[in-house]
Amino acid sequence: MVKLVGIAGSIGEQSYNRMLLEFIRDHFKKTVDIEILDINDIPVFNEDEDHDDNPAVHALARKISGANGVILATPEHNHTVPAAMKNVIEWLSNNVHPLDGKAVWIVGASYHTQGSSRAQLHLKQILESPGVNAFVMPGNEFLLSNAKEAFDADGNLKDSGTVGFLESVMKKFLTFMRVIEMLDAPDPKNSHEEDMESKHPVNTTVPDVDMTDPEWVEKAAEKTHAASGGDYVKLDRGLLTVDQLNYFLNSMAGELTFADDNNQFIYYNKKTDAAHMLAPRTPDQAGDPLSAVHPARVVEHVKQVLYALRTGESDVVSMPAQTGPNQHVMHYYRAMRDENRRYRGVNELVIDIMPILKYYLAATGQKLVKDPDAVPMSPITGLDAVTSASKHSDPTKADATSGASASKSVEEKPAADATSGASASKSVEEKPATDTTSGASESTEAVKPAAAEEPIDADALTGASEETSSETGYTSDDDSTPAKKPAAAPKPESESADTDATSGASES
């Protein structure tokens, strides 16, 4: 839901402008979430003081920064804005600038017939001044005159025509806000223009903190006074503490990565240390521009993925990384969009799907068999619209995004798996014995050592490179990326193989 904050420019106990904001909040509660902020504790502005020294100023700036838009309700004192409203804006344009680039709607109520018209005009000029740089919605002035008689005993506006006009202006403000939010959205014209250096800040970028600082998370959190530990965070359908969010994300089956719409790598779920991750990450990488976490050889391929997701050519791009008889690691890149359909970054999921496949075969008593009529599909999905890659390209050749081969080199081209198009068995000279558990036969008469895989290049978004080693399994060929702990290589077995203890499937 769209989040707005409202500020009444009066600190009096009885305020018709606060009543107007309360009516707007209650009347539109099914459409927008409006929080009315209190300015009674904001001190008199002193430019020698830092807002960090005052919790009321800090809290106000943080609430405004986290909102999609702002509603300011101003009285009119002596033909201009009241001192309390001007004082707040002074604080919010000195050391902090939460109104910069923010959509603002001005409303006002007054005792007399002009409905704070002159105060609204002056306030608009103040908000558009250098240092404030707010985007004030033009026209559509909501001027509530004769405020003493405008509300009933329950605080509702009496006149239906006034309510109808208010509804029309709110609708226009929501449209105006969507337009304003797109002004800072990166807009590359092709994949080559994707900014891997993260040089075009968006409205969630933390300013004045070096992205490449190893302590970026700690310094950015201090800069923004970020919630932590037991602080509660309101979500769409839930309320969790920061600790609970970490427990939740770290318990996910796969590895998660978040890169924002400025192509800045800002999060990964640190479930374990890098040496034991499928796509190794280290804590000091959080905050880096994507160029800093990828070798130069894959940058153009990364740009293709980002551009496809940003433009909506694809919602998901997927590709394999490490592959082998006991491992098939997939990388899924999914576009994230806000309620206005603006691209907000990419969510990467890295997961080994082989345990899921083994479980399914064992639980259902099925087996993978060769399909002589199948045409192998490209191991990469979601990039055809950008790269013109064929969906029927040869999977033994380098993939279109990372240059990584998704298939083992084999002496005899295996037939495709009937489900996925991937071959699950080696060539055989005679029909193997049937698996006694599932009825599936996956053995060969003479088991040969697996042929060495072609080098797996860095994956398209993580920059992690996996290469098969004949002795140790999968390792990294990128000096900057920690090597992964390899899975144990399968041992050759006799013709009559025992059942796999985990899945019930024979792999001999």
Q: Do the Cβ atoms of 14 and 109 come closer than 8 Å? A: no
Overall average pLDDT of the 278-306 stretch: 94
Average pLDDT over residues 373-395: 67
b/e per residue 305-337 (b: at least 16 CB within 10 A) = bbbbbbbebbeebbbbbbbbbebbbbbbbbbbe
* Mean pLDDT of the 41-63 span: 82
The answer on pLDDT for 102 being more than 70 is yes
Assess whether pLDDT exceeds 50 at residue 501: no
| Least-confidence region, from 10-24, 108-122, 367-381 | 108-122
- Give the pLDDT confidence of 440-490 residue by residue, as tens digits: 444 333 333 333 333 334 344 444 434 333 333 333 333 333 333 344 434
Q: What is the pLDDT of residue 14?
A: 84
pLDDT at 394: 40
pLDDT at 402 over 50: no
- Segment 122-150 mean pLDDT: 91
Among 153, 135, 171, 148, residue whose Cα is nearest residue 24 = 171
pLDDT at 60: 92
Structural domains of the chain ordered from first start: 2-181 (3.40.50.360), 203-351 (3.30.450.20)
The helix (H) or strand (E) run that includes residue 136 is strand 135-136
State both tokens at 202. 């968006």
pLDDT for position 51:
58
Q: CA 15, CA 144: separation in Å to the nearest integer? A: 13
d(CA 222, CA 353): 39
Which of 11, 59, 55, 52 is CA-nearest to residue 35?
59
> What average pLDDT score do residues 300-314 get?
95
Q: Can you give the pLDDT at residue 435? A: 42
At 162 the pLDDT is 93
Using alpha carbons only, give the angle 427, 432, 434 rounded to the nearest 5 degrees: 135
Contacts of 226 (CB under 8 A, 6+ apart): 220
Confidence band, pLDDT 50/70/90 cuts, at residue 324:
confident
Exposure on the CB side of residue 228, measured as CA atoms within 13 A: 8
Average pLDDT score over the chain: 79
The model's pTM = 0.65
pLDDT of residue 95: 84
C-alpha to C-alpha distance for 56 and 71, rounded to whole angstroms:
19
Sequence-ordered alpha helix ranges (H) in 225-330: 242-250, 299-310
The answer to whether the beta carbons of residues 506 and 497 sit under 8 Å apart is yes
Single-letter amino acid, residue 114: Q
pLDDT bin (cut points 50, 70, 90) of residue 326 is confident
The pLDDT of residue 52 is 61
- pLDDT of 50 reads 62
Place of tokens 């025509």: 161
Report the pLDDT averaged over residues 359-378: 92
- Residue in this structure with the two tokens 């068999």, named with its chain if needed: 369
**Beta carbons within 10 angstroms of residue 462's beta carbon:** 30
209 contacts: CB under 8 Å, gap ≥ 6: 216, 219, 220, 223, 287
- Rounded Cα distance, 129 and 68, in Å: 20
Percentage of residues of the chain with pLDDT beyond 90: 55
- With tokens 């005993």, the residue in question is 153
Which range among 11-25, 213-227, 400-414, 447-461 shows the weakest confidence by mean pLDDT? Answer: 400-414
Task: Say whether pLDDT at 434 is over 60.
Answer: no
Q: Is the pLDDT of residue 33 over 70?
A: yes
Q: Which of 103-117, 176-190, 281-295 has maximum average pLDDT?
A: 281-295
At a CB cut-off of 8 Å and minimum separation 6, what does 100 contact?
132, 133, 134
DSSP H helices, 365-506, are: 384-387
